A and B are shown apart, each in its own frame.
Chain A
Amino acid sequence: AQKVTQAQTEISVVEKEDVTLDCVYETRDTTYYLFWYKQPPSGELVFLIRRNSFDEQNEISGRYSWNFQKSTSSFNFTITASQVVDSAVYFCALSEEKSNTGKLIFGQGTTLQVKP
């Protein structure tokens, strides 16, 4: 069965520190998609990244970077030089190709608090 685990429930850092949010997934599919979303206190889900299972290249977008490793079934997210505005709940999610509908399985979320 498919499953997404975010073992870190809450992380607190001081501004300008780097922080890594872990995500481990389980799936029997060979083709799948992994996502990260940010949920600020206002509640909306902000799409950050989508990665397909055949693309293991790491990606960097500004202060954000993602490390996808199929060997360990992990898709970790790093924020460099964190800022107070990064404070939010971050969700990792999995979508399987065979479902062909876009249904997402979410991890439990990691609450990131960045203190000034």
Chain B
Amino acid sequence: GAVVSQHPSRVICKSGTSVKIECRSLDFQATTMFWYRQFPKKSLMLMATSNEGSKATYEQGVEKDKFLINHASLTLSTLTVTSAHPEDSSFYICSASTGPSASPLHFGNGTRLTVT
């Protein structure tokens, strides 16, 4: 079945540094990728929608300069958390869609970010 690979699975970084998280679709072309954030014991909140070759669409309240998203190809989207702070510590998970909402979404295994 379709697989989405997310890397790294865990990352610890110091305040002020930037962290890049990769989301790859391994056996299909993902026209759209989504980035979600999940706080402990909370639901998944959509951060942004990433379309290949165009700018990402951010949800209300998400800082686009803080969370840079690049979807350079049909198989790769990256999320860069810039100038990370402890409050950015969270579980980030991506998903990929082949197109219309009829397709089941495939999720990566998530990245647990800890900012010290």
Q: Which chain B residues numbered 59 to 116 have a C-beta less than 8 Å away from chain A?
A: 91, 93, 95, 97, 99-110, 112
The answer to whether the Cβ of A103 comes within 8 Å of any Cβ in the partner chain is: yes
Q: Would you call A103 and B46 a contact (CB within 8 A)?
A: yes
Q: Which residues of A contact B (CB under 8 A)?
A: 33, 35, 37, 42-45, 47, 50, 52, 91, 95-97, 99-109, 111
Q: Which residues of B contact A (CB under 8 A)?
A: 32, 34, 41-46, 49, 91, 93, 95, 97, 99-110, 112
Q: How far is the CB of B12 from chain A (nearest CB, A)?
A: 16
Q: Would you call A102 and B109 a contact (CB within 8 A)?
A: no
Given contacts A33-B102, A52-B102, contact A102 B107 (CB under 8 A): no
Q: A37-B107, A102-B100 are in contact. List 12 more A-B contacts (CB 8 A).
A: A35-B104, A45-B107, A45-B110, A47-B104, A47-B106, A91-B43, A95-B105, A97-B101, A100-B100, A102-B95, A103-B46, A104-B34
Q: Would you call A109 and B43 a contact (CB within 8 A)?
A: yes
